[in-house]
Structure 1
Amino acid sequence: MPPKPSSKPANKESKKTELKKKEKIVEDKTFGLKNKKGSKQQKFIQQVQHQVKNSGLNKTQKQLEKEKEDAKKEKEKKKLELEQLNAILKPVQQLGKGVDPKSVVCAFFKQGTCTKGAKCKFSHDLAVEKKPQDRKKAEKGDEMSIEELVERERAALGVNTTKVTEETFLAWYKKKAKERAAAMKKATDKKKSDLKSGRDVRVSGGECGGEGRRHEEGYG
């Protein structure tokens, strides 16, 4: 394959052509002034040369400044639209009576959507939210959670204990149920036995009383 033509000669040619055009423009604008030695004429020639030489650069610079300004305006426009949208969609953060707004963290700041910055009446310091929690912990003192209490009691039992799992709990529950059923049966049987013994005593006593009366009547 033939080598690709280099773009460098074309660029050089383009620059040369552009330079010639600029020189022609300078020559046309300063026609008849080059041979004059007056300071005003020489100053004018220098200004024309400078303007023509930097004409392309000035155009590019203006374009960049315009693009920068347009981007800035677009950014401000989007920011304003976002603030308006937030004002419509977001609920207003409520405060209790007498509560200092700076003691409450801005809800929108926590979500990363607050655009007010230092102007926001609520606090943007997350440490403010942590202080009441630390104070509550200090007020509780030695108060512990149920989980902590269970772990402490378990540790007090020593190492030679059965760990409570679902299987060990069900086995213990079944054993206790059997023991409870056996105890209830024993109590019921005893009650029946006691009732039967009491009835026999009453019957025997009645019979003895009848025989005594008959005996007295026979000797009367």
Structure 2
Amino acid sequence: MPPKNQPPKNKKADEKKKQEALKDRTFGLKNKKLRAQIEKNILGGSSTQHQQKKKNEDDDLKDMSKIFKPVAKTSAQQNVSADVDPKSVLCVFFKQGMCTKGNKCKFSHDLSIQQKTAKKNLYVDSRSLPNEEETNENWDEKTLEDVAEKKHGEKDRKRPNQTDIVCKYFLEAVENSKYGWFWECPNGDGCIYRHALPKGYVLKKDRKKMEEQTRLSKISLEEFIEKERSKLLDKELTKVTFDTFITWKKKKMKEKRQQQLQSEREKLASFKSGKQ
């Protein structure tokens, strides 16, 4: 005989009984691990279903965060450099389908513009705009002084315990060409040392250039001799050989003896005349 059709179990009633049994078993129980074990034993499959449901909800939440991640990371207001035409830049909010400004938006809503480069604003001279990402590597002394004055001058003068000693971190940054608009002192805003180069200070890189120029400006002894010899090439002079040198030497020795004899005669004549 085929089995009789059994009436369907009331799931809500079973769940209610399990919850009541769980409440009775865990009443006043403070041990969390034991409580979780009892809950697992009593609820059984329902606990597994609850965990699976929670996992699905977490997965959905992650998917939603991935969808809106580009918008979340976008700044509240899209900005471009002053020398760039905004209409040549695609609106990031329009790209995500979230721009509410419509035709009033100063940025472009043309998706094909992504393939094009940003156009320069013809009414702004980009040379007059400060490049805040650059460092002092290619700055001259005047530019370095101006930037240091704008960044630190007013703060340093207003600080009551300010000293005349130059901050070592500032000096290291300048010497290593790492100082710029975005440079921040490791000592923070409370640094009591000056953030400006002392008057007449010469950077190491400039000092090396000066030393190299001084070295190149000096000539060696050999170069000096060759230079002086070149001046004599146009004159008719006797070539120096061994024979000419001996002749010249004898002549000089003879002249020296004559000078000595003349000096002795003058002394003898002076003595005879009574002059001491």
With normalisation by structure 2, the TM-score equals 0.21
With normalisation by structure 1, the TM-score equals 0.25
More helix by share: 1
Task: Find the structure with the greater CA-based Rg.
Answer: 1
